[in-house]
Amino acid sequence: MNKGSSITRRLITAVLLLEGLAAVLLIVAVIVNEHQDEYSAFDANLRASANAFLGAVQEAEDSSPNIGLDLRRIPRTPHAIYQVTDGEGHILGTEGPVPQLTIEPDSFRRVKIHGHSYRFFALDGERVVDPGTPSAVVHQVHILYGQPDGRVWHEIWEATRFFMVATAILLGVTAVLLVWMIRRLLAPIHVLASEADKVNSVHWSFTAPEVAMHLVELRPLASAIERTVNRLQSSFEQQKRFTRDAAHELKTDLAIVKSSLQLLTMKERSVEEYGKGLDIALEDFTRLEETVQQMLTLARLEQPADALAPRCALHQVLQDNVTQSASFASLKKVILTASPVTPVFVPVDARDAALLCSNLIVNALQHSPDHGMVEIALRSDGTTATLTIRDHGEGIAEEDRPHLFEPFYRGDPSRSRKSGGTGLGLSICKAICDRAGGSIEIDNHQAGGAIVTVKLPVSNPEA
């Protein structure tokens, strides 16, 4: 199977990509959330420590109104940096490399010191010495307190690491499950394919597998295959039948020719007998030739049409054929009328049109009783030319109707080959009509007799 066009692969890739994307987004969301939690805790801790420093600012030991920092009550935090200054800028206490910062009071700021990330908090407070006495002095105190925040990131990592590993494992497990499941889900396609694969020219039966018909997505495909196979089968059968019938027809004609000639050689005969026998053999041979000719005509008509659109004046061709058939009609004492004959051009080769007309007229004459009548009419409504040929014969039997245009089908079995014709005439007519995009139908007229209706598209005479 081509790698680039595997549905399984594409599905798995698509699902895994989506899963991966979802996992990444989830992890980012978790990290953001964790980050916020950790930082608010860290900040609360900074604020508390700064407040502790504020609490540690006291009156100086001496009796001056100054203040000092009492560090004894402050818990020591490693790596902490602080600076406590009073309103006049005197440093009351400091530790660590305090950066030169101006931070709005009561706000946080991140600073890099010696390659380490620190977070600082600035707190402004007041310290009142001897409150409640007239000598009370208010001292402004600025506190800057910072701690390295690398630990926070460590905490975040610790908290989300498990989550990431779990997601990765889940992703792997679902990938395996996905492969298995998609294979299973796509199994009906394979069943369908293997069933379709069994169809060949000998074994035509195709029944869509149950599993495929259960799936809404596969049902149209399965039934399409079924229909296609059936169509193919019927056209294949038709071809096979044609070949078989053609072989039968040719063999019969050959058998006649051969036996006619062999009959002559079976014993010594007079010159007249030989002459007569040869004449008969020639006649038989002519019929074999006709059969072959008609088969070739049919084969030609069933080929795709030439690019050059043919065109002919159907009314002229029809008139010519009516005139040509007059002698045969008078022989059968049949009255042949053609009215109305509307001038109309059709996209049919002139020779094919003549073949169509003569086949239908001869057919009608053959099916006419003596002193009967054949009525021909050619009408046009501008887009469709309609040619009708009606005889007053026995009409067509209902059971023959679906087979009339089948090659070698002979309507009246008892008449068989004796009435002449190879049984290809109507097939040729149909092929001519089909080729021009028209139609041909045979019906029984209400008043008795058969009526052939040929509909052909009209082609523009100027074109």
Partner 1 sequence: MRLLIIEDEKRLAENIAQALREAGFAVDHAADGITGAHMAVQDIFDAIILDLMLPGKSGKRVLTELRQTKSRTPVLVLTALEGKETIVDLLNSGADDYLAKPFDLGELLARVKALIRRAKGVSSTIIQVADMEIDTVRQTVKRRGQEIDLSPMEYRILQYLSYRPRAIVSKQELLEHLYDFEWEHHSNVIEAHISNLRRKLNLQGTEPLIETLRHRGYRLSEEASS
Look at the alpha carbons of 3, 21, 151, 155 in this order and tell me if their dihedral is positive or negative: negative
Q: Which structure tokens are listed for 195? A: 């069933």
C-beta closer to partner 1: residue 109 or 417: 417
Specify which residues 81 forms β-bridges with: 146
C-beta closer to partner 1: residue 74 or 261: 261
Tell me how far, at minimum, the Cβ of 399 lies from partner 1, in Å: 14
C-beta closer to partner 1: residue 284 or 391: 284
Residue 236: closest CA among 262, 263, 200? 200
First to last CA, the chain: 52
Residues 126, 107 contacting (CB under 8 angstroms): no
Residue 282 sits in the site that holds partner 1 (CB under 8 A): no
Among 252, 324, 366, 453, binds partner 1 (CB under 8 A): 252
Beta strands in 231-346 (DSSP E): 312-313, 335-341, 345-346
Residue 110 sits in the site that holds partner 1 (CB under 8 A): no
Tell me how far, at minimum, the Cβ of 241 lies from partner 1, in Å: 12
Tell me how far, at minimum, the Cβ of 309 lies from partner 1, in Å: 41
* Three-class secondary structure of residue 333 per DSSP: coil
Point out which span in 3-11, 32-40, 257-265, 331-339 binds partner 1 (CB under 8 A). 257-265
Tell me how far, at minimum, the Cβ of 423 lies from partner 1, in Å: 12
Question: Which x/- pattern over 231-250 shows residues binding partner 1 (rule: CB under 8 A)?
Answer: -------------x--xx--
Residue 446 sits in the site that holds partner 1 (CB under 8 A): no
Angle, CA 322 vertex, CA 317 and CA 324 arms, to 5°: 95
Tell me how far, at minimum, the Cβ of 219 lies from partner 1, in Å: 39
Residue 251 sits in the site that holds partner 1 (CB under 8 A): yes
Point out which span in 155-163, 182-190, 234-242, 260-268 binds partner 1 (CB under 8 A). 260-268
Of residues 42 through 101, those in contact with partner 1 by CB under 8 A are none
Q: How far apart are CA 317 and CA 226, in angstroms?
A: 45
Total binding residues toward partner 1, as defined by CB under 8 A: 25
Question: Which x/- pattern over 261-280 shows residues binding partner 1 (rule: CB under 8 A)?
Answer: -xx--xx------------x
Which amino acid type is present at position 282?
L
Among 72, 112, 114, 418, binds partner 1 (CB under 8 A): 418
Provide the b/e sequence for 310-329 (b: ≥16 CB within 10 Å): bbbebbebbbebbeebeeeb
Residues 279, 261 contacting (CB under 8 angstroms): no
Tell me how far, at minimum, the Cβ of 362 lies from partner 1, in Å: 19
C-beta closer to partner 1: residue 10 or 258: 258
Q: Which structure tokens are listed for 386? A: 């309609």
Q: Which structure tokens are listed for 395? A: 């009409």
DSSP state of 149: -
Of residues 299 through 338, those in contact with partner 1 by CB under 8 A are none
Residues 315, 354 contacting (CB under 8 angstroms): no
Q: How far apart are CA 137 and CA 59, in angstroms?
A: 10
C-beta closer to partner 1: residue 131 or 413: 413
Site residues (vs partner 1, CB under 8 A): 244, 247-248, 251-252, 254-260, 262-263, 266-267, 280, 284, 410, 413-418
